[in-house]
Structure 1
Amino acid sequence: MIISTIYGFGNVSIAYAQMSYAGMFWYIIGGICFFFPCCLMMAEYGSAFNEAKGGIYSWLAGSIGEKLAFIGTFIWLASWVLWIVSSASRLWITLSALLFGRDTTQSWHIGSLGSTQLIGILAIIFVIVVTWLSSRGINGITKISSFGGAFMIIMNFIFIFASLITIVANHGVPAQPIDGIKTFFVSPNPSFQTPIAIISFVVYAIFAYAGMENLGGVTDSMKNPSKTFPKGLTIGAVLTIGSYVLMIVMTGFSVNYNQVIAKLSVNLGNVTYVVFHRLGYMMGVSLGLSHGVNLFLGDLFTRLIALAGLMGMLGAMFILVYTPIKSFIMGSNPDLWPARVTKLNRHGMPAFAMWVQAVIVSVIIFLVAFGGSAASSFYQILTDMGNVSTCAPYIFLVGAFPAFQRKDIPREFIAFKNRFWTMVLVWFVEIIVCLGIIFTCIQPILDHDYQTAFWTAIGPIFFGIVAWVLYDYASKHARA
């Protein structure tokens, strides 16, 4: 479940498209300076609050109080709601690549419904089906998520195996030349040449590792969570960091940046399929196979990664349609909500709250699909707001850790024993996250894209204000 939630080959191809080999350095920095220490912190939280049903809400409330927990968790929940909106639509592109070897969704239509409207309706149906299945219990969620994670690991091995064949056949000569040590620090992408743009890539690295806190919402369903959760996070952290670095390096042996990536037809939405198609094609070329067989291998690899992406997306979707809303609703004071919101169904799931979330997601998808050009702008605004909002909750989670330690809550797993060095590490991680967020907001200003800059920066501020108002209203209503 950890691997299915966190790791994605799409993050590898995006890093390569943005930074080529240089992306490896930032993923290592992000892994060592952010992901690994955060995993250990989340493991301590999970060990201490192993019976808590509220996940990160319970962690924050038990450390820095209910109001800040409410605000931090609401920002976190909003970012994942926007992720569900995006993924429910993007899933059909993945399915198209699996069935046809390329994205054909632009030509999909039924009667008077164009491709955008049809994809919107399919996305809404998908959200409803996932919500219904997830509301029927945690066992189904774990099976789907575990299968998705296992399939992604298999695709990693296929990628490594095919890359090794290409490397050996080409006598170790990479398709993307390595021109000294600067290759691992300087991007060939003209959009990532300035120091601010390069540092803003930290947000991509953080997002590549985002999601480990979601598993905190299922610790109450784990066997021996005080030991299982820390062990799983530690193993998952090592595998995830190692996989990202290895995959970026191996991508360079089959994919030349200027010939394959630097094309107008290649974007962050389809670059994963472009990379895998090229890998299959180059493996055939390296083995001296015919052009037709090479193209067949390219199409085969495209379909395989599409299947892996589909399984991984399904696994992540089933986790994220449940754990964020559960952490937020079930972790908070029940007096803040109407009784039916916190009521569990016979499967032990907050079904009503999950269906409310499904309605909100469906309404947003409908507005985007049927709202014309104005809707496209609206969706872009949502995306911009979600980018930084995804990273902002870590400011709360990491910043609350010293307060959590001072509580001396009994826990079997303790990674940080020295209070002074813990504070140093906390400030270090906080600075990294904050710098990544700040430079992500500044970069559009330097490009004179003031609208994107505004909505990118306003995301966590807007969601934080909404949470503040909701909390004050709910607390007054509860007292009344």
Structure 2
Amino acid sequence: MGSQEKSKSKLTLLPLVLMIFTSVFGFTNMPRSFYLMGYGAIPWYLLSGITFFLPYAFMMAEYGAAFKNEKGGIYSWMERSIGPKYAFVGTFMWYASYVVWMVNVASTIWVPLSNSIFGKDTTASWTLFHMSSTQTLGLLGIVWIIVVSFVASKGLDKITKVTSVGGTAVALLNVVLLLGAVFVLIANHGHFAQPILSLHSFVASPNHAYGTPVAMLSFIVFALFAYGGIEVVGGLVDQTEHAEKVFPKGVTISAIIIAIAYSLGIFLVGIFVNWNHVLASNSVNMANVSYLVMQNLGFQVGLGFGLNQAAALTFGAWVARLVGLSMFLALTGAFFTLIYAPLKQMIEGTPAGLWPGKMGEVKKGMPLRALWIQCAVVAVMIFIVSFGGQAASAFFNKLVLMTNVAMTIPYMFISGAFAAFKKKTEIEKPFQVYKSYKSALVATVVVTFTVGFANFFTIIQPLTQGDVQSTLWMIAGPLFFTVVAFWMYHRYEKKQRSFPQAEKQVAR
């Protein structure tokens, strides 16, 4: 009876595929990609699926199976494979990417809120105390991070309800996009709003900012970012029935479905959005483009039902409200989770001596001191970025670029350690996709090169257009956290030379 229950609780192929899909697939990636590259985004998603998503997911699966009993997560993976210094710098960069994500979301979460209330993005006109809209959003972002940190320090029992409601609502948006686009295509007698003139339409971008080869190559980082979240795969191997056969099949099917779903979603946007008519305005940015696209879908559906222009515009505004509310709930839930989960995993997984004073203490399941230090760092970063004198559109675009680069760099650390992991025969590997060291080395090189290549071109792309500031911001964030990580580890090494008996203590 017990073995039957255990078997029933194991993941079969379909639940595994669904779990990977819901963890990775992100609705906003499709409108943003269409805004940047039009139909030209599709080949990059397919290429990134082959050179990054699939081989990287298999790496996560092997790591997860080998270290399923380790509490340190990715720190344990890299520490056992290469060494503690490499592991700590890589883990700290992984954590830092969430800090940059919080800087981004705390400043941009007001866009979905505005859409949910007004049916459109009005944040460009928001002002407090005679400040510009960018500064106002920055100030609101600082208030947001303080409030969320305060609530998180008191307990998170009820926030899971917000997360589940928001997640369900965003999942439904994909259905709305699919059905709405098909309806508009039928209503317009097969006419596409963004015309497909030839195969060239799937290479060139209607966005002049992405018209050069360097800019097109820099787009790869957006595709890589869209495949983020596959770290969850590492913990699913031992939960999968007949993992040796089912898991590789599940990951492969998931990768194919996700790559096709993204490509289809970008293609569907072209049915009801003409880039020059809808997205060419200076008021369009990466924070509000998803809502503008869906508002336009609502408008086109309204016209398809025979509504007059005014009524169709009203219908479009209500669709934008639905999208705004869904995204606001989803981002709020994600924020409340990510404000403590990465921080807690890093502190609990690394040696206690790395953390100054009582920073590594975890009370009632929460690293309270570290939580407030994190709050201060995020607030300072928001202040510096928002009061740096940029227009709202440039401000939002800069934040998204910073997030994409920061959140993909840790992939290089994890993939870079994989060949060393495979070489260590003393590490028991109960699940293996890469049967030989040579195949593991090829995967390590391909994945690490793909991420490095994408980030290099993303960082230099603004420089080629004279935008030195954006390039400096993308370098400054990861560089600052790398320096901090090396300083902390150097301090730890000095302490170990004086008190070697403390080395194996782990923060709790």
- Same fold at TM > 0.5: yes
Are 2:423 and 2:437, in contact at CA under 8 Å, matched by a contact in 1? no
Q: Greater shift after overlay, 116-125 or 51-60?
A: 116-125
TM-superposition CA deviations, 1:271-326 (whole Å, max 9, x none): 11111111111112223222232112211111111122213312332332223212
Aligned to 1:93: 111
Aligned to 1:24: 42
One of 485, 490, 502 as aligned partner of 1:472: 490
Q: CA deviation at 1:165?
A: 0.9
One of 53, 68, 74 as aligned partner of 2:86: 68
Aligned to 1:8: 26
- 1:405 matches 2:406: no
Aligned to 2:190: 172
Are 1:134 and 1:140, in contact at CA under 8 Å, matched by a contact in 2? no
Aligned to 2:446: 428
Q: CA deviation at 1:195?
A: 1.9
TM-superposition CA deviations, 1:75-127 (whole Å, max 9, x none): 22222212101201211121011110122234445666775565444323432
Segments of 5+ residues of structure 2 without an aligned counterpart are 1-18, 499-508
Aligned-partner Cα distance in 2 for 1:329–1:8: 28
Amino acid at match of 1:365: I
- 1:269 matches 2:258: no
> Secondary structure of 1:9's match?
coil
Are 2:240 and 2:247, in contact at CA under 8 Å, matched by a contact in 1? yes
> Secondary structure of 1:268's match?
coil
- 1:284 matches 2:302: yes
Are 1:167 and 1:173, in contact at CA under 8 Å, matched by a contact in 2? yes
Amino acid at match of 1:59: W
Aligned-partner Cα distance in 2 for 1:259–1:374: 25
Per the alignment, do residues 378 and 167 of structure 1 end up closer, same or farther by CA in structure 2, a change over 3 Å counting? Answer: closer
TM-superposition CA deviations, 1:29-62 (whole Å, max 9, x none): 1222212222221222222222333222222112
> Secondary structure of 1:392's match?
helix
Amino acid at match of 1:92: W
Q: CA deviation at 1:247?
A: 0.9
TM-superposition CA deviations, 1:412-469 (whole Å, max 9, x none): 5433223322221221122211211222233233223334334434543443233212
What TM-score do you get using the length of structure 1 for normalisation?
0.87
Aligned-partner Cα distance in 2 for 1:463–1:392: 12
> Secondary structure of 2:71's match?
coil
Per the alignment, do residues 461 and 182 of structure 1 end up closer, same or farther by CA in structure 2, a change over 3 Å counting? Answer: same
Aligned-partner Cα distance in 1 for 2:196–2:47: 20
One of 385, 389, 398 as aligned partner of 1:373: 389
Q: Greater shift after overlay, 322-331 or 427-436?
A: 322-331
Aligned to 2:15: none
One of 112, 128, 131 as aligned partner of 2:146: 128
Residues 233-244 of structure 1 aligned to structure 2 (within 5 Å): 237=255, 240-244=258-262
> Secondary structure of 2:287's match?
coil
Aligned to 1:162: 180
One of 204, 210, 213 as aligned partner of 2:222: 204
Aligned to 2:378: 361
Q: CA RMSD in A?
A: 3.3
One of 310, 314, 318 as aligned partner of 2:328: 310
What TM-score do you get using the length of structure 2 for normalisation?
0.83
Aligned-partner Cα distance in 2 for 1:301–1:246: 21
One of 307, 312, 316 as aligned partner of 1:298: 316
Q: CA deviation at 1:327?
A: 3.1
Amino acid at match of 1:13: P
Aligned-partner Cα distance in 1 for 2:396–2:290: 22
Aligned to 2:5: none
TM-superposition CA deviations, 1:343-369 (whole Å, max 9, x none): 3222x3333322321222123334555
Q: Greater shift after overlay, 380-389 or 262-271?
A: 380-389
Are 1:64 and 1:403, in contact at CA under 8 Å, matched by a contact in 2? yes
TM-superposition CA deviations, 1:382-427 (whole Å, max 9, x none): 7765543322211111111111223353355433223322221221
Amino acid at match of 1:307: L
Are 2:412 and 2:451, in contact at CA under 8 Å, matched by a contact in 1? yes
- 1:251 matches 2:269: yes
Aligned to 1:184: 202
Aligned to 1:334: 352
Aligned-partner Cα distance in 2 for 1:139–1:54: 24
Amino acid at match of 1:150: T
Per the alignment, do residues 423 and 137 of structure 1 end up closer, same or farther by CA in structure 2, a change over 3 Å counting? Answer: farther
Amino acid at match of 1:399: G
Per the alignment, do residues 19 and 384 of structure 1 end up closer, same or farther by CA in structure 2, a change over 3 Å counting? Answer: closer
Aligned to 1:150: 168
> Secondary structure of 1:160's match?
helix
- 1:195 matches 2:195: no
Are 1:35 and 1:209, in contact at CA under 8 Å, matched by a contact in 2? yes
Amino acid at match of 1:45: Y
Amino acid at match of 2:417: A
Are 2:194 and 2:273, in contact at CA under 8 Å, matched by a contact in 1? yes
Are 2:134 and 2:390, in contact at CA under 8 Å, matched by a contact in 1? no
Per the alignment, do residues 372 and 453 of structure 1 end up closer, same or farther by CA in structure 2, a change over 3 Å counting? Answer: closer
Aligned-partner Cα distance in 1 for 2:376–2:23: 23
Are 1:22 and 1:187, in contact at CA under 8 Å, matched by a contact in 2? yes
- 1:452 matches 2:456: no
Are 2:120 and 2:292, in contact at CA under 8 Å, matched by a contact in 1? no
Are 2:61 and 2:237, in contact at CA under 8 Å, matched by a contact in 1? no
Per the alignment, do residues 139 and 419 of structure 1 end up closer, same or farther by CA in structure 2, a change over 3 Å counting? Answer: farther
TM-superposition CA deviations, 1:231-276 (whole Å, max 9, x none): 9977765554333112101101111122212223322222111111
Are 2:402 and 2:473, in contact at CA under 8 Å, matched by a contact in 1? yes
